[in-house]
Structure 1
């Protein structure tokens, strides 16, 4: 056997090991001793089959039959080990695509030393196989493996280029001579695929960037509103604490008033009574339900509604513990009531009736909220969600939707009979 034939056979074996190991590294598997043993035995069997075909019929036929004697068994083996079918196929095709790196390293040397011919090319491919395999397994394989948990649509997108490269390589270089004969379609095919892939990548990147920007904007809005809601709750808690202090000190107030009356200072007593009443009324928190946060927010908006001349009615049966954190409950209630109050203020400005009706309760571990308010102005909806063209508005609705979707709940916005109704279930 000539040196050229030996190098060609060794190169065929090395590319087989390269592809098998890299395909296995691209699959997200815990490589136990048993699985490593299965892979090692399978590798030996596939290499033996390649050697038999090469020695009896030549390496050209071995390369011709390579998809059947190597790639198909490797795909079936990885499919059985992983319990999946799509990702093992993507892994095998991607590993085959990475074999181009070996070929290009050898072609670079051939370009510098053209007299070496195929012998030098096989030798260089053999030489770079192990270092290149180690580098790909160390730095590239973890990133490729992480994509195996992506949705099937993303896995298909990732595998389309390796699939086209695989089909192009075999049908234009191994099964036919279209590429070497200079067929224009064959020569231009991969540049065409690259241009399409680049445009698709640009469009996908732009779409993802827009979604990311929208999510960041929504997140920033939520963070600001949560901070505001927390500040409001702290202020209301302080007011409640002061009211508790006044109730605790009621005996001292009564003693002072009694002393004023006994000394004939009735005007002073009346003034003192009025001042105490004003302070207590200012810090009044109505008890609507057991949930402290809901009480504080409902109480604050009840006071604002009273100041605006809006009829404010509440039916609430919320326990202290709800299926969502206090911060998200604050954002939901505050945004919903804020929007309703703004609508009622427009009703008042137009000389129309203004009211807000809030119903909230918990049942079977789910939180339910319905808020209805007067609204005579037609509301613009897009995909069932109210929208506004006014700058700086609409963040409240987006915040409500984001929180409900965060917990897999449902929401609905409707307008009928000059009422706007929001329903939430989480």
Structure 2
């Protein structure tokens, strides 16, 4: 009895462990950019997990299952999924997609061996069939290695919508169910003719083709969607730059006119001086100074694209009565890709402006317009909190630190607190804006994740602070 168990165990491990290793290898190809440990350590742990679970299942099959040993695959698959979760930093949607994709590749390889066994290898010797089994079932899944290493890995790295991945996981899960259903059907129904075997082979080939074709089409569509989104962001940034350029041109024209009129202003000042009209002179200077301050918007950043973004949202914030303070201590050449960083700042500042607008509306319902506060900032009627939008960006070592603080309504404060219960905003968080207003902070969280950073949220009843950490040169 002991020899039978030992022989069955050896037989199970030799036959199945290579297939499980190939499946794990495909999963690691797709997620190697999101591993919790080093690649070497992860490969070692994966190897140990596969060997251990193969031995455990082999003992169960040899001692108890007999011909029903096919069901031992279930705990192997369960352990593989849990191991993938333990070894990677991924949302469950991505884990399920990668897992079912690799499991389907292994299932199709097993189907391929079964087709070969029924059509060409049935009369071969036992040893030759075992070699064919080992080669097809272990090397077969590796044919799809480029699909996992390039296409699926690109999706894992670039697409960070958890809800989307949960829906996408149904695609490989469906193929996995279809492959297993086909295998069970083939053993439930006895094929008595070469034509039936040919149809079986055709079904396996069609299943494999549909899987690969579906993946290529799916990720091609995702690439198109992301490229269109990038082009829209580039167009928005270009529009802001054009707006800033026109404002600068207008300021230059006004400056030229002011220089032309300066001699006339000197005559007016001289006339006040000759009359010893100090009060009139002060009133005139205050009026001219206020008008000049109102006309000149100033520069917020050395980088023109970032300056354009800042100027646009600073103007919007001031239009709703908010006091604006922007401090961008960045060089003209940004430490991060210009388009990525500018769109992240646009999202942050747009959220801040709209939060101020909603706070102004909430605080001024049934009252008049904003008035000046005791601290110089604009204040809402009836003693409500002052309106403000403060933003600071600075570089510390290889990190870029962004801080945006602004008023927010109590509704927005609750929404932000719910989106970041532990203070860290995830890329899957819902926007605090009203429905239809875009993805806002979720987009910033996605970018922060790409640059090995994070987005932290602090809220109280009337204000919110968003702090973003990005690592220069750290895109993944």
TM-score w.r.t. length of structure 1: 0.49
TM-score w.r.t. length of structure 2: 0.45
Structure number with bigger Rg: 1
